[in-house]
Structure 1
């Protein structure tokens, strides 16, 4: 058994025709080295076939499903078991999915005497399948470092459990020839169903709606499963009372292949389920596992969502995806960042990276949970992008490291796995370019949001991508993806390094305030060696200076509306310090405790005049222990750790350490 020849498929076509099926006169079954056996419009056909052409008609009499196993009959139609009959107790015990697998095994075991013989012999046979569960030892080396090993183990364990339960049920019922239903044959049958079966919708006109099992039914459709997969191919499977038709919904020229469309499958799904991958798959994306702890803010948010909307408990899919830049199935108004990082992933990371004030504004609806996009909440967006960037860098390094020692593919399994690996790296690289683009804009303070400035800044950003790393088509599409959609953060310049914060002050105040800050660090640094390397402490001192300036009646009228709104926002979000809210003697942070002790012992009111900061007094609260403690809390909540020179990974040949840089988030108005 096992014949992939054109002759075997011609015999299959004859068999289907005898039961009332056919292919359209305009098409033929063809075969070549690259596409195997496939369907195409005849080269000598006088014109393209038009949309709505029914190219294949498969009668319900030759379909195979759970309904055959139970010999279903109703006023609409009937399905024969064709001499493979299982005890009803077995069918009820294992359910439709396992019944279908064992039914397929039983029909295979009948060989040439079986009703579906001419169909089954055209399928890949046991030992011929190319999904990862059937990889040889050398093939397995090619999937290391990817998501395939974990997915394969999960599938193997699940199928092993189901097989053992099913075979035990058959043995307990005294079913004859149970020993012929082997584990290897079960693996084959389950893989055939996973890779070729259609949904129960194709039987909707022949089965009463109330008779469809809740878990669904998989249906094998001889002939209709013959065309190869092409992403975005415009086809429709149309159910009828006596047949199922495959209709093309686009014009196809003479000599061109007629393709099926398995849906928007990424390369991991194609490899796991079908045993092949597609180079330049527009529907490719990567599934991200967040590893969320049960007591995390995200878990708590999801638990509250389920309490509010109990029906959501049935949906266990998270939809945490990173899309490639060609991904076509996007809503028209999808934000630029969401066109690469699925909203579910982005919102989940936003909740995980948000500070407490942002989480207090958490929005929970049936559609999802998210931090709302209002003034001040860009912190969670930038923190999410930073975390995504670190994850992308780590994943790129894992894929590169696991590929060391691999040479040229030696067989088809390795060829498809190489395509999968390369597509994953390219997907990560383009996603990193886009994630760090928004961070770059947040770090840019000398450009506005005009089209000209954005284009110039984007050209500078893209210039950091090593020449030749990505094709011109991918680079161009990456830029289009950035420019064609509105960013979640429409304003530039919301992340500040330490020295940049002084630019928030009027120009005449910047120099004196910097001198005052330097004087503080010089004096305090002698007593606290760790101070210059503690970003939270340094940011706290600058915040304290800025807030004290805002509290100064002399200085406040001169301040920009941006600085004024930000400081007043902080007052609203963080309780003003009381007389006893300063640094505790038992404070766990060594630098913080030392800084508190230092400011208590200094005549700090004499410092500002010496450095030209004449508008600060003791009553403005500058370096008051209570205000400094308050500023420390603000710094801790409003800092964002971003990758420094993240695109350096693109040019690296080996592992590279990407340091983190602390920035303070100051929203635009």
Structure 2
């Protein structure tokens, strides 16, 4: 019998118990959407909101309450001849009881009460969720998060199934051998993919018997409409039935959709066995894998101490959203509209320095480093790390997919391709936006007004190869960038070594750079690794800048930005009192420099470079100050990916990094 005919019989069966489909609505079938519900093509008018499109009588719903033959003053539910021992129900809990009850009803075949409903469902062996993929189908998921999630789910279900079978065998349950693993996999997947919240039975179950979680309900007919993100519908509980109520206008011939919530494609594929191309509510879940003694873990522990209710929320909310994600506050900053605040803040804490983490703000809503003077470095470091992760993930997906067939061979592979293609697109758009903020922080010569931003944005987007994104995605990237304020609205806060001299008055730049070159040239003869050590090089420049700021002759000529920054560093990092006898790992170059340079040499370099505003007595090359500058350089540097958008041009880019110094700008 054709699937449409089976669903028509389901409609008649439901109607015999009081079920109803509105006169304006019908069950339909086509090659693209399969079985679906729609407003009749010849219906004379648009269907209005508040129309009860489908009503499912309580008597044909299926849930844990049927398995236990629940009865109360508000309602009752029959087990329709599938009964399990109470000892089994108590031992395995509500979810497994329901799964085995569904298996039992399936085994009854045509004699079962729910047979008209169950035969319209995908049958065992027909499911498209990843646990049912063949080996050649699984290859399409390589490099994604689904194989790990599937393995995790398989182990949990396998353990639960073994526990249930063992208990039934202990109780001598007749027919236990018919309850196979394959049938359990089918029943569990049907419940995961089609069941509704127990709240739909709120009018027929006593409040004390209605838990928040653990019980779900199958609703014949109401589970028939396809999912559409953002469809406006409501599942309305009644005393005699459950209704699917429209909350939007639907024109004749248009499909009536359900809404499973803002599911991403990974959730849709894992739980329901399908994906949506260009899913507006797509996002990628990030697993940071932080250690228990990491700054993030310690901050979370402190948050739970302060606000115990927070412990109930076990989801970290570490997400990367696609550029069309609609369920965001209009007041969210641009970066938080792509990288969830929890993810962004966690990375900022992980890659923040000790100075920044001292200012942590912990409240009920989250943990963050506030955007005060000097703290933008942690945000830029977070974006740099996000960019590196995005590049690596894109490369992994592209590499794992290079040996796949040119086209999917079946519907499972088609959905898997939709999922992996969506991940790559999501990553690439997120990378464009993350690197835009970094690009602005690297731009030293343009302002923050439209005349400065417009050519920068044009140049940034020009790095995207033609055809990399459809026009509507390119347009949305610009919308995200231009319509939302940035967490870092100031340009020019990241400097390469040679660029730091531009902070000085023009007449001081040449002599200062000449002094640096003299020191480096001499030291490199004795310390071969110094010239390629960014931290060591920044230490030398910092020494010159600090000595210049401390010079009574030079300080009045310096910009307020430079003097404020140097004073800030001196305040945040205690001045040296002598040589550190317990050096940190990696400080060999600076310690070696301190040993080969003496007081006379420092004075000679100053005189030779005509740095008249710094005296040898300033101590700028003494061991203590060199070690101080080395520590500051380590803390205030940011490692940026070099040419990050090359991953849009080639499948095998090199992930190179460049060191820059963060100089805050008010």
TM above 0.5: yes
Cα distance, 1:405–1:584 mapped onto 2, change above 3 Å: closer
Cα distance, 1:110–1:602 mapped onto 2, change above 3 Å: farther
Shift of 1:584: 6.6
**Following the alignment from structure 1 to structure 2, what is the Cα–Cα distance between the partners of residues 229 and 271?**
12
**Following the alignment from structure 1 to structure 2, what is the Cα–Cα distance between the partners of residues 268 and 601?**
64
Partner of 1:328, secondary structure, is coil
**Following the alignment from structure 1 to structure 2, what is the Cα–Cα distance between the partners of residues 38 and 586?**
66
Partner of 1:542, secondary structure, is helix
Describe the superposition over 1:205-241 as per-residue Cα deviations: whole angstroms up to 9, x where unpaired: 1111111235331110000000011111111111111
Cα distance, 1:370–1:151 mapped onto 2, change above 3 Å: same
The answer to whether the 8 A contact 2:14-2:60 is kept is yes
* Alignment match, 1:556: 555
**Following the alignment from structure 2 to structure 1, what is the Cα–Cα distance between the partners of residues 617 and 82?**
92
**Following the alignment from structure 1 to structure 2, what is the Cα–Cα distance between the partners of residues 46 and 582?**
87
Cα distance, 1:587–1:149 mapped onto 2, change above 3 Å: closer
* Alignment match, 2:662: 665
Describe the superposition over 1:187-214 as per-residue Cα deviations: whole angstroms up to 9, x where unpaired: 0000000000001111111111111235
Task: Please state if 1:656 is matched with 2:648.
Answer: no
What does 1:3-42 align with in structure 2 at a 5 Å threshold?
A: 5-42=3-40
Task: Please state if 1:110 is matched with 2:129.
Answer: no
* Alignment coverage as a number of residue pairs: 665
**Following the alignment from structure 1 to structure 2, what is the Cα–Cα distance between the partners of residues 465 and 665?**
27
The answer to whether the 8 A contact 2:591-2:627 is kept is no
The answer to whether the 8 A contact 2:591-2:623 is kept is no
* Alignment match, 2:226: 228
TM-score of the pair, normalised by structure 2: 0.98
* Alignment match, 1:57: 55
**Following the alignment from structure 2 to structure 1, what is the Cα–Cα distance between the partners of residues 214 and 345?**
31
* Alignment match, 1:45: 43
What does 1:212-291 align with in structure 2 at a 5 Å threshold?
A: 212-213=210-211, 215-291=213-289
**Following the alignment from structure 1 to structure 2, what is the Cα–Cα distance between the partners of residues 265 and 487?**
27
**Following the alignment from structure 2 to structure 1, what is the Cα–Cα distance between the partners of residues 524 and 178?**
80
Shift of 1:71: 1.0
Task: Please state if 1:90 is matched with 2:78.
Answer: no
The answer to whether the 8 A contact 1:199-1:216 is kept is no
* Alignment match, 2:172: 174
Describe the superposition over 1:564-613 as per-residue Cα deviations: whole angstroms up to 9, x where unpaired: 111111111101111x2357789763212211112247521122122121
**Following the alignment from structure 1 to structure 2, what is the Cα–Cα distance between the partners of residues 346 and 97?**
36
Partner of 2:248, secondary structure, is coil
**Following the alignment from structure 2 to structure 1, what is the Cα–Cα distance between the partners of residues 644 and 135?**
36
Q: What is the Cα-based RMSD across aligned positions, in Å? A: 1.3
**Following the alignment from structure 1 to structure 2, what is the Cα–Cα distance between the partners of residues 420 and 595?**
54
The answer to whether the 8 A contact 2:606-2:616 is kept is no
TM-score of the pair, normalised by structure 1: 0.98
What does 1:497-512 align with in structure 2 at a 5 Å threshold?
A: 497-512=496-511
Most deviating of 22-31 and 582-591:
582-591
Partner of 1:118, secondary structure, is helix
The answer to whether the 8 A contact 1:198-1:220 is kept is yes
Aligned mate of 1:325, from 317, 323, 326: 323
**Following the alignment from structure 1 to structure 2, what is the Cα–Cα distance between the partners of residues 256 and 215?**
34
The answer to whether the 8 A contact 1:583-1:629 is kept is no
Task: Please state if 1:364 is matched with 2:359.
Answer: no
Most deviating of 586-595 and 397-406:
586-595
**Following the alignment from structure 2 to structure 1, what is the Cα–Cα distance between the partners of residues 81 and 167?**
20
* Alignment match, 1:467: 466
What does 1:340-419 align with in structure 2 at a 5 Å threshold?
A: 340-407=338-405, 408-419=407-418
What does 1:104-253 align with in structure 2 at a 5 Å threshold?
A: 104-213=102-211, 215-253=213-251
What does 1:467-616 align with in structure 2 at a 5 Å threshold?
A: 467-578=466-577, 580-581=578-579, 589-600=587-598, 602-616=600-614
The answer to whether the 8 A contact 1:271-1:277 is kept is yes
* Alignment match, 1:447: 446
Describe the superposition over 1:512-564 as per-residue Cα deviations: whole angstroms up to 9, x where unpaired: 11111111111111121111100000000101100100100111111111111
Partner of 2:287, secondary structure, is coil
Partner of 1:317, secondary structure, is coil
**Following the alignment from structure 1 to structure 2, what is the Cα–Cα distance between the partners of residues 483 and 34?**
37
Specify every segment of 5 or more residues in structure 2 that has no aligned partner in the other structure, as ranges: none
**Following the alignment from structure 1 to structure 2, what is the Cα–Cα distance between the partners of residues 583 and 668?**
35
Cα distance, 1:123–1:588 mapped onto 2, change above 3 Å: closer
**Following the alignment from structure 1 to structure 2, what is the Cα–Cα distance between the partners of residues 252 and 589?**
69
The answer to whether the 8 A contact 1:587-1:593 is kept is no
**Following the alignment from structure 1 to structure 2, what is the Cα–Cα distance between the partners of residues 475 and 511?**
43
